[in-house]
């Protein structure tokens, strides 16, 4: 098991290194001059040069790259162009907000998705199955920002039940959590259904049936545990994307998280901040995938012995 975990970590590190490198050089391809963009069109040339020196943009690209890598190793992600505060601080103060929202959303999505998926498989071909299938199809088709706006107009403006924006209390969590989880609910529902139906067709389930175990019990006890194995992968994948993928949900509900920070950073072309955020997003994706792989190997002995 330990060997497996170490192997997985060794696969994850080069991907992060590649992400850092790709992102760094991609931003060096920008047509135009970062110092000029930052100073504004009207700024005198001296000001532009001053910014260039301050940010080290006058050094050769490879030197900048080496300095950037060395910085990351020390936890230094550079200084934000626009706020002039360290990128690590900007990200650190908002990370918790995005992480808690993503955690709530994936929790909700997993719970609802598995329940709907089981119902759908249990009543395969019946009305309940069709209803769940259509719900899942709508769930992957609904634009998240539209859903967010509709909920806001209904529950905040019309009914006054929930706060429209911001964060602080648990009531602020309700609408953003639902908005962020809808796509994943639909995804997990479909995955649970198909995985369960596939498992039911397996030999050991037939054996259980032949032994006379009651039908519903067969499904729940003998199939569900194995059927949920692939579902854990999907849950992990969705969660890994959620830390970065909350961009639009955060924008709708003015949620002070990393997604809104990214929109801000892109709008102002704050390159160090964008780079830092991308690194954090990629790291959460790689870490979550690592955890899921380890969990999977723990649950399914066939994997870790391969």
Binder among 78, 182, 281, 297 for another protein (CB under 8 A): 281
Site string for another protein, 119-138 (x = CB under 8 A): ------------------xx
Spatial separation of the C-alpha atoms in residues 180 and 229, rounded to whole Å: 23
What is the 8-class DSSP label of residue 166? -
CB-nearer residue toward another protein: 53 or 153: 153
* Location of structure tokens 């959620």: 242
Spatial separation of the C-alpha atoms in residues 204 and 221, rounded to whole Å: 12
Spatial separation of the C-alpha atoms in residues 306 and 7, rounded to whole Å: 12
Q: Are 68 and 78 in contact (CB under 8 A)?
A: yes
Site string for another protein, 138-177 (x = CB under 8 A): x-xxxx-xx--xx--x---x--------------------
Binder among 82, 100, 194, 232 for another protein (CB under 8 A): 194
Tokens for 297? Answer: 């190997």
190 is a contact residue toward another protein (CB under 8 A): yes
Binder among 278, 292, 293, 297 for another protein (CB under 8 A): 278
Nearest approach in angstroms of CB 55 to another protein is 16
Spatial separation of the C-alpha atoms in residues 274 and 19, rounded to whole Å: 13
CA torsion sign for 219, 225, 226, 227 is positive
CB-nearer residue toward another protein: 113 or 245: 245
CB-nearer residue toward another protein: 14 or 168: 14
CB-nearer residue toward another protein: 50 or 83: 83
Q: Diameter of the chain by CA atoms?
A: 86
Spatial separation of the C-alpha atoms in residues 173 and 179, rounded to whole Å: 10
Strand partners, 79: 86
Binder among 2, 6, 29, 62 for another protein (CB under 8 A): 29
* Location of structure tokens 């990200």: 91
Site string for another protein, 235-264 (x = CB under 8 A): ------x--xx-xx--xx---------xx-
Q: Are 255 and 94 in contact (CB under 8 A)?
A: no
Spatial separation of the C-alpha atoms in residues 231 and 239, rounded to whole Å: 12
CB-nearer residue toward another protein: 208 or 278: 278
Binding region for another protein (CB under 8 A): 14-15, 18-19, 22-23, 26-27, 29-31, 137-138, 140-143, 145-146, 149-150, 153, 157, 190, 193-194, 197-198, 241, 244-245, 247-248, 251-252, 262-263, 265-267, 269, 271, 274, 278, 281-282, 285-286
């Amino acid at each position: 098991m330990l060997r497996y975990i170490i192997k997985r970590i060794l696969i994850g590190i080069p991907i992060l290194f590649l992400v850092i490198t790709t992102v760094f050089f991609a931003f060096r391809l920008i047509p135009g001059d970062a110092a000029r963009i930052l100073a504004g069109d009207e700024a005198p040339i001296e000001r532009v040069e001053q910014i260039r020196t301050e940010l080290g943009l006058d050094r050769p690209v490879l030197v900048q790259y080496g300095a950037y890598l060395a910085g990351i190793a020390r936890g230094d992600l550079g200084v934000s162009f626009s706020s002039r505060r360290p990128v690590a601080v900007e990200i650190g103060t908002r990370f918790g907000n995005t992480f808690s929202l993503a955690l709530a959303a994936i929790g909700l999505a997993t719970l609802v998705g598995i329940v709907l998926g089981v119902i759908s498989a249990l009543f395969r071909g019946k009305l309940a199955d069709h209803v769940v299938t259509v719900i899942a199809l709508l769930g992957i088709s609904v634009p998240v920002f539209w859903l967010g706006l509709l909920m806001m107009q209904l529950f905040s403006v019309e009914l006054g039940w929930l706060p429209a924006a911001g964060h602080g209390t648990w009531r602020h969590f309700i609408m953003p959590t639902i908005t962020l989880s809808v796509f994943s609910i639909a995804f997990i529902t479909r995955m649970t259904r198909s995985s369960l139906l596939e498992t039911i067709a397996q030999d050991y389930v037939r054996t259980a049936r032949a032994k006379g175990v009651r039908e519903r019990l067969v499904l729940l006890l003998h199939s569900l545990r194995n059927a949920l194995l692939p579902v854990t992968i999907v849950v992990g994948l969705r969660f890994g994307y959620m830390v970065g993928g909350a961009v639009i949900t955060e924008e709708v509900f003015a949620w002070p998280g990393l997604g809104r920070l990214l929109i801000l950073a892109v709008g102002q072309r704050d390159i160090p901040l964008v780079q830092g955020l991308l690194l954090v997003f990629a790291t959460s994706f790689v870490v979550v995938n690592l955890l899921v792989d380890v969990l999977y190997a723990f649950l399914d002995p066939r994997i870790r012995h391969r």
